[in-house]
Amino acid sequence: MTDFILVRHGETVWHAENRYAGRTDVPLTDHGRDQATALAAWAATAGLTAVWSSPLSRARLTAAPAADACGLAPQTDERLYEVDFGRGEGLTRDEMRERFPRELADFLADPVACHLPGGEHPRRAAARAAACLADLARDEPSGRILVVAHSTLLRLLLCHLLGIPLADYRRVFPRLDNGALTEIRLAHGHTALLSFNTPAPTQTPALH
């Protein structure tokens, strides 16, 4: 069996406005860097065997201190990129409502059948992330692997692995906090959810 600790990257400069950050390389805030430091403090005693992340800098810079704390080389995989939000990239929902109201309403009703215009199909995103984890589990059948990626991708991945309809990802997993820990176990073709959205032990939740 292989255990994975899935972590959403630290807070970014688009966080306060809740802008859709898919493939845009948005930098971390000071608080986001503090969340990476908290993750590293947890990782130092977590018994990790590998640290992987999305190639986007907000994920790499969240993962790097954790890898360093464990004496591991951080690695990236393009299959861990965030979902491409197409015409919604960089916009808030209010801005989308002004530019393409019908498409946004359809997306909010069913994000799989009606993904954002010009964006990546959620099934494809979930499948590529699941394939990445399957490869890592095959290479480390007794591993404990940290994976730092992105909110929408990780929630779609969890639904895919746990047999939950992808269209329900926002209802079943309404939030995934920056820097929080979600642990799953892959064994014999099955997935167990061990914990979800748990703050790193040294992390103090941000006030909003």
Q: Which range is least confidently modeled, 103-112, 154-163, 176-185, 194-203?
A: 194-203
- Asked whether residue 190 carries a pLDDT value surpassing 80, the answer given is yes
Is residue 135 within 8 Å of residue 117, measured between CB atoms?
A: no
The yes-or-no answer on residue 82 being catalytic is: yes
* Contacts by residues 158-163 (CB-CB < 8 Å, ≥ 24 positions apart): 158/6, 158/182, 158/184, 158/193, 159/126, 160/126, 160/127, 160/129, 160/130, 161/130, 161/133, 161/186, 161/191, 162/191, 162/193
pLDDT recorded at residue 17 = 86
Instruction: Give tens-digit pLDDT for 4-48.
Output: 999 999 999 999 888 999 999 999 999 999 999 999 999 999 999
Q: Which of 9, 115, 150, 160 is catalytic?
A: 9
pLDDT at position 147 is 98
Kindly state the tokens that stand for 128: 């590529």
C-alpha atoms less than 13 angstroms from C-alpha of 28 in its C-beta half-sphere: 23
pLDDT digits (tens, 9 = 90+) for 49-106: 999 999 999 999 999 999 999 999 999 999 999 999 999 999 999 999 999 999 999 9
* Cβ atoms of residues 52 and 146 within 8 Å: yes
Catalytic residue among 11, 82, 103, 120: 82
115 is catalytic: no
